[in-house]
Amino acid sequence: MLTKKHSKFLNSKQFHNLKSTVINHRYSCVTLSLFLFILFWFSSFLFSFRIGKQPLSTTTQSTNHNVVAVSTPPAACRTGVLVYIYDLPPEFNLGLLEDCQHLNRFTNMCPHVANRGLGQPLPSLGRGWFATNQFTSEMLFHARLESHPCRTRDPSRAGLFYVPFYGGLHMSSRYREPDPVVRDVLALRMVELVVRLSPWWQRRHGRDHFITLGRTAWDFLRESNGGPDFGANALLDMPAVKNMSVLVVERQPWTGMNHHGLPYPSYFHPTTWGEMLTWQDKMQRSKRPYLFSFIGGARTGGGANAAIRNEMMRQCGASPRCELVNCAANGSKCHNPEKVLGVMTRSEFCLQTPGDSFTRRSTFDAVLAGCIPVFFSRHTCYTQYAWFLPQDWRSYSVFIEAEGLTPKKMKKIEDELMKITTERREKMRSKVIGLIPRVTYAHPNGTTLGFRDAVDVALEALGKHIVN
Ligand SMILES: *[C@@H]1O[C@H](CO)[C@@H](O)[C@H](O)[C@H]1NC(C)=O
Ligand SMILES: *[C@@H]1O[C@H](CO)[C@@H](O)[C@H](O)[C@H]1NC(C)=O
Ligand SMILES: *[C@@H]1O[C@H](CO)[C@@H](O)[C@H](O)[C@H]1NC(C)=O
């Protein structure tokens, strides 16, 4: 309902022109594939229908003796929709990192933006583990896309155009700037470059363009959001950006028609399917002595979210079946990946109460730990991550109504969770563990993963969203 496709744009003449280009392109690929298959793989001819639909990547085309690379799915662009990455000046992305000490008022971001946003390695947890900061989705996406099999360096072959603007990091470095014009200037320059100076924008008025943002949509909606000024810029209010798809860790759930929820990063960035399977297996077998847990800080102020959160923390603290990590009392524990994962792998259910906004990075840590998330607002997950999580939220999560209720009227969490049978719990946990690959940002250097990670899922969804 909130993610209506832009189907009205798909009847335009331009679309038909584009479609015939795509079809012609497919035919030439089919011809090439057929040639190779008749020569080398005669008996498996029927498979060439599936493979022939995938345009060959530039590299495999130039070295077409490499038949194996063409027919092995992970090395090819599976969706067949190629992505062009705009070559923006460094001030829009990696250049921002030169000032990493001032990208965030509360945190020195230098260790966090290292390794293309993976952060510092965690050798004690193994290869593929990093102390990844919650705001780095935009960087991880960019890094992974650069060596993705669907990347093309030829914009005329691209079905999707990625604008690598680290809007979230830039926003947090400017939010104390009193003059809104100064906050917006880089976004305006981005629009200028992409809209006015790029011939590829005009083709579909930007419908095939997208950006990724590692902070919530609220940080970019100064004009439409109204309310008190907390430092937002107006990136997502700009008409050009409204024509693009915006992949963002928290969408504006009511008006953000072009916003699509993007997972927050967690700590696991594997390179191979083997690493993923090993972890999934470990989570399946993890002993979970606690029924539920909560990791977070209390909130002051009179907001409804604060009241819900504080009541949940009170309930958790009062129950011997709940493990509570109160971040306000000792913040360092909450940013220690081993501690966080330790708590989550010891419990069956992980409470995800809204905090400063609806969504939480913690939801994705919980999935990684095979801990069934418990939500208290639909906007913490269900209206956010439609591309990544099953529509049937009952299959992987628990919902306890809390919105609009006073703390006294809220249900007792422990009682609600005790009602769930062991059998159902096991089923839900398996479902959660099965979701781990889809919400994981694979290591950007892992080009032949053998599983579909968050970037693969996003590209496939974008391809369908834009082309169909
Ligand atoms: C990816 O590989 C290159 C070349 O080996 C290396 O320089 C780079 O640091 C790697 N990237 C990350 C994020 O580790
Ligand atoms: C946005 O798309 C509409 C068509 O849907 C077009 O008229 C408008 O010019 C586009 N805006 C920009 C800035 O390209
Ligand atoms: C916070 O926790 C860490 C480790 O968990 C501990 O070393 C430190 O002393 C604690 N600090 C306070 C103020 O409790």
Q: Which atom of ligand 3 is nearest to the CA of 331?
A: 1
Compute CA 92 distance to the chain's CA centroid, rounded to the nearest angstrom: 20
Cα distances from 104 to residues 83, 174, 215, in angstroms, run: 31, 9, 12
Q: Which ligand is nearest to the CA of 140?
A: 1
**Euclidean distance between CA atoms 84 and 275, whole angstroms:** 30
Q: Is 333 in the pocket of ligand 3 (CB under 6 A)?
A: yes
Asked whether the beta carbons of 112 and 136 are under 8 A apart, the reply is yes
Q: Are 103 and 109 in contact (CB under 8 A)?
A: yes
Position in ligand 3 atom list of the atom nearest CA 339 = 5
- CA–centroid distance, 356 to ligand 3, in Å, is 24
pLDDT score, position 51: 33
Distance set, CA 170 to CA 25, 83, 419, 427, 430 (Å)? 39, 24, 46, 42, 38
109 CA to middle of ligand 3, Å?
Answer: 22
Where residue 231 falls (left for φ over 0; alpha for ψ -120 to 50; beta otherwise) is left
Structure tokens at 300: 């002051």
State the closest ligand 3 atom to the C-alpha of 336, by its place in the atom list counted from 1. 5
Return the DSSP state at 159: S
Nearest residue to 84 via CA among 179, 151, 144: 151
Question: What per-residue confidence (pLDDT) applies to 79?
Answer: 86
Name the residue at shortest CA distance from atom 9 of ligand 2: 205
Å from CA of 234 to ligand 2 middle: 18
Strands 259-261 and 245-248: parallel
> What's the start-to-end Cα distance of the chain, in Å?
18
- The label of the residue with tokens 């082309």 reads 467
- Give CA 450 to chain center in angstroms: 19
Pocket test for ligand 2, best of 243, 246, 466 (most atoms within 8 A of CB): 243
What are the average pLDDT values for consecutive 10-residue runs of the chain, which has 468 residues? 32 35 41 42 37 32 32 65 96 97 91 98 96 97 96 96 97 92 96 91 95 97 89 96 98 97 98 95 98 91 79 94 86 86 98 90 98 96 98 97 81 96 98 98 88 96 84
CB atoms within 10 A of CB 95: 12
Which residues 6+ apart lie within 8 Å of 14 measured at CB? 203, 204
Q: Check pocket membership of 144 for ligand 1, CB cut-off 6 A.
A: no
Please list the residues that pair with 212 across neighbouring strands.
247
Q: Can you list the positions of beta strands (E) in 9-132?
A: 83-85, 120-121, 130-131
- Would you tell me how many other CB atoms lie within 10 Å of the CB of residue 92? 20
Per-residue b or e along 142-167, where b marks 16 or more CB atoms closer than 10 Å to that residue's CB: bbbbeebbbbbeeeebbbbbbbbbbb
The pLDDT, as a whole number, for residue 86 is 97
Confirm or reject: Cβ of 342 under 6 Å from ligand 3: no
Q: What are the start-end ranges of the H helices in 330-421?
A: 331-334, 337-345, 362-368, 413-418
141's enclosing H/E stretch is helix 137-146
Length of the chain: 468
What local confidence, expressed as pLDDT, does residue 185 receive? Answer: 96
Distance between Cα 332 and ligand 3 center (Å): 7
Q: Collapse the DSSP code of 20 into the 3-class scheme (helix H, G, I; strand E, B; otherwise coil) and give the result.
A: helix
pLDDT score for 467: 65
d(CA 256, CA 236): 9
Burial label, 54 (beta-carbon count in 10 A; 0-12, 13-18, 19+): buried
- Atom index in ligand 2 nearest the CA of residue 240 equals 13
Measured by CA distance, the residue closest to atom 1 of ligand 3 is: 330
Rounded distance from Cα 99 to ligand 1 centre (Å): 22
CB of 445 sitting under 6 A from ligand 1: yes
295 DSSP β-pair partners: 325
- Taking the CA of 12 as reference, the closest ligand is 2
The residue assigned the tokens 């004009």 is 223
Angle at CA 405, nearest 5°, toward 400 and 411?
A: 40
- For ligand 2, which residues put their CB under 6 angstroms from it? 195, 205-206, 239-240, 243
- Pick the residue whose CA is nearest to atom 2 on ligand 2: 205
CA separation for the pair 355, 298 (Å, rounded): 9
Q: How far is the CA of 445 from the centre of ligand 1 (A)?
A: 6
Buried b (16+ CB within 10 A) or exposed e, 110-120: eebbbbbbbbe
Closest listed residue to residue 85, CA positions, set 212, 204, 174, 171: 212
- Measured at the alpha carbon of residue 103, what is the angle toward residues 211 and 325, in degrees to the nearest 5? 95
